[in-house]
Structure 1
Amino acid sequence: MTGKDVPGLHEAQDAIPQGTRVNVTFLGNEDLEMRVAAAQAVKEAGFVPVPHISARRLASQAQLEEFLDRLQQVGATEHVFAVGGDPATPEGPYDSSFDVIRAGVLQKYGVREVSIAGYPEGHPDIPTDVLWEHLENKAASLAEQGLGAVILTQFAFDTDPVTTWIRDVRERGIDATIRIGTPGPAGIKRLLNFARRFGIGANAMIVKKYGFSLTNLMGTAGPDRFVTELADLLAADPASGDVKLHMYAFGGLRATAEWARDYRHRVSA
């Protein structure tokens, strides 16, 4: 959710299980008050806030510490997501999320676990070998500092690159929980626009496999096929380790929460 999504959180609250992790983004057009208020709303609703720390949007270490201090005051620092962020040029001393992690200030404000980004289909602006180097460095630094690590990935439409990437992560000796980004039900045009923006594979074969057609863009699509196939593949490969989902609520928090609730009921029936 974003800082503007607090009303949507309240609307979806009864459809989300207590204790669910809810990420709070760090957008350039939102300020400190909005970010902290959103994290506080998540906490007060009975969920676990995971505020984002956008490295290249931070102008100084003082700004990072002010943000962490305010989050700690509302009980929202145990879990954070450290990410590089969109600006091509850093606004301060942090060029990457690794710079934030190795700054050594997170534990001072009660951080116990840090989510870091994973890219099963690569990144449009970062070479693959650099992505792997950064992932390994971040996982090692968190372990050295005694902090828990979670790898939270970009969203995907195709299980093939996802499962291949999971195997590659484990072969590198990284045993952190992996949360696979999964788009909640949303309009097809909206999903494809996000895919293009983030460099996600969305050719005709992939989207047909996922469950919608490029010739009919007016409807909505959900991740039923993707999640079912991913679950089956992971069950057949014990070496994949601890893998969960992270839902991207492109179609709204309530629609995503209701899809997850209904899917659980269907598969357990």
Structure 2
Amino acid sequence: MFDSSAPLIRMQRSHGRARVAFGPRGLIDLAQQGSAKAMLPRVTARLPEIVFLNTSGGLASDDRLAFGVDLRPGTRALATTQTAERAYRATGGPAEASVTLTVGAGGWLDWLPQETILYDGARLDRRTSVDLAPDAGCLLLEMLVLGRLAMGERPATLHLRDRRIVRRAGRVIHHDAFALDDATLPRLSGPALLDGARALATLALIAPDAPDRLNAVRAVLDEPGVSGAASAPPGRLVIRLLAADNWPLRRQINRLLAVLRPDPLPRIWQV
């Protein structure tokens, strides 16, 4: 019989930090700690790739994970993740994840992580901070999947606080926040929210000429099973996508990336 007087077992928590600094001639610094790792695969494309991974296999209560990229002036690079990140059912406080990206003068960064899967009962606080030099730019992707779709899981409890902030020369130019909680979940099927979608994504292109791509982007927003819309405020192009499943969502994203960037998709991606 369960003994309520027995002492609580203190669960082991995962802490990890990985940071990569690149210059025009290649790697400058690489720091890794705990469960966070960074790989630098050799690629034939002109754009160097950084691949982050979490060796703990996912995020549970009170885990801490931090990735960072520092591109020095005149440097272009692509950063992604080895596989989908998983946020497991939480029995305590939320897991915390942070991404810190810095792009120097004349630089460019494509931040294209693979999807985050939120298990039923997951608790996750995540923050992505981007600091751009006055003439630097970036392309940011975020994909979320609600539940383990192959198992028919539909989250009944959930906590998500996800925020992306982009600064140019210290001034905020893009702030995108998304939150989910137990009270919100029953209303997600409404047309004003997710309209029943289980997979969603946001692409944000931050560059002075970003609005010029609006028509080209809208021309390929026709993947079956995916609904999407694009807007172009000054200096930005923001695309939002909804789907019942992550595979048509990935196909739509692949088509959009072909319009938005001249380089091949990350080698690590399953296309």
TM over 0.5: no
Q: When you count helix as a share of all residues, which structure comes out higher?
A: 1
Q: Which has the higher contact order (CA 8 A, sep 6+)?
A: 1
Q: Give the TM-score, by structure 2 length.
A: 0.32
Q: Give the TM-score, by structure 1 length.
A: 0.32
